[in-house]
Structure 1
């Protein structure tokens, strides 16, 4: 058998538990692909937090910026502090940071049992939804122009 006729082994396909190293590799590869496809637009992450007088977390927000877009990833406020406006303050601080980083628009998704109404009260507009979430819920996608 000549070299041209040597069979190429098939890659191995495996399914397993969550793999943080795989996640990191996928993120790195996709970030590189996305940067090339978007003329090198930088992707960066940031966070906003509120702590009480004892240093305990009251609430927090994580977000990313990429090519003028801010994506709100996670926003949570401790149950005993939810009626105090911390969600709006966290979101406003994130939007201000996004503008400082050159963003002019923001996006977020929220399940129907979470907070789409909250985001709408903060000026976000629903732009789509994906039905079929557990319990008969949907994932709602929202958008806002900043500045």
Structure 2
């Protein structure tokens, strides 16, 4: 007999699901070879004014988080960070980059850098907004 249980804590279940999913994926496409990638934009005092957090895995870079402070927008800093991330991905042997951004964030920024929209989810995070998915071949 099996039971479906809503768990009060996620650690044990998350670890088990991750182990199982990782084993399945590795049996189909090879080892993940995951490597974190973190790039920051800092002022002269060392304060972080922006950055990118992602992961190099398999043959791709996944950009998970990307932000530039309002004071730095429009000055080319975002494009420079993305260029650095793409170069690191190439050095890793990645074939491409993928990321998601909301309509309230920067969906017009990525096509200027050669990204193409490969999907969207309407009414996310709330009604009237959209989650855009982008990819770029390297």
Write the mapping of 1:1-147 to structure 2, written as runs, cut at 5 A.
11=3, 13-16=5-8, 19=10, 23=14, 26-133=17-124, 134-146=126-138
* C-alpha displacement of 1:25: 5.2
1:43-71, CA deviations, whole angstroms, 9 ceiling, x for partnerless residues? 22211111111110011101112221111
Q: In structure 2, the residue corresponding to 1:35 is in which secondary structure?
A: helix
1:102–1:51: structure 2 CA closer, same or farther, 3 Å change rule?
same
Alignment gaps of 5+ in structure 1: 1-7
Structure 2 CA distance, aligned partners of 1:30 and 1:74?
23
TM-score, length of structure 2 as denominator length: 0.85
TM-score, length of structure 1 as denominator length: 0.80
1:62-109, CA deviations, whole angstroms, 9 ceiling, x for partnerless residues? 111222111111100112121222111111110000000001211111
Please tell me whether the aligned partners of residues 116 and 140 of structure 1 are also in contact (alpha carbons under 8 angstroms).
Answer: yes
Please tell me whether the aligned partners of residues 35 and 42 of structure 1 are also in contact (alpha carbons under 8 angstroms).
Answer: no
Q: Which protein shows a greater Rg? A: 1
Q: In structure 1, the residue corresponding to 2:66 is in which secondary structure?
A: strand
1:79–1:20: structure 2 CA closer, same or farther, 3 Å change rule?
farther
Q: Which structure features the higher share of helix residues? A: 1
1:34–1:75: structure 2 CA closer, same or farther, 3 Å change rule?
same
Structure 1 CA distance, aligned partners of 2:46 and 2:12?
32
**How many residues get paired?**
137
Structure 1 CA distance, aligned partners of 2:31 and 2:85?
23
